[in-house]
Homo-oligomer: A and B are copies of this chain.
Amino acid sequence: MDNKDFFHKFVAFLTAVHQVTHEVTKDVKSDDLTPVQYSILEYIAVSQPVTLSQISDCQHMSMPNTSREIKKLSEKNLCEKFAVAEDRRKQYVRLSTEGEAMMNDAFTRIEARFMHRLKDASQEELEEIERALDVLHTKLFYSGKS
């Protein structure tokens, strides 16, 4: 298999992943969240506590816009800021109790859809899938550097 075919397979795979991501997360977010706000909450849920700068970097948005969205989310009582002991310029953000509840609910529904996709897989297939996830994560979808 030459580079061109390999690349084509890669593109088809990315398309499939994005498609499935959409299916699996469709309608899980509350209606009074914008897509950007939901995405930020997902990031906080997985990585908390995070600073505003980290959100800005990882969500590819400017600091002013990040600040604005976090402010809105705080006003909706979904997250809260608190001081970083070592550096008083920084602010950590974490989910509020209400935010945790909302995100737990969202992840539960996503997990159910994910499991539904695997419902016909045998034990060996599940192990095969797990190994494949590891291989791609470490060898192709690794992050940063190099």
Contacts and interface: CB of A to CB of B under 8 A. Distances in A.
Contacts of A36: none
Contact of A3 (B11, B13, B46, B111): B111
A48 B17 CA distance: 20
B10 A133 contact: yes
A15 interface: yes
A1 interface: yes
A143 B111 contact: no
A129 B130 CA distance: 13
Interface string A86-109: 000000000000000000000100
Interface stretch (A61-69, A76-84, A112-120): A112-120
B129 A135 contact: yes
A143 B20 contact: yes
A9 interface: yes
Contact of A136 (B15, B115, B132, B143): B132
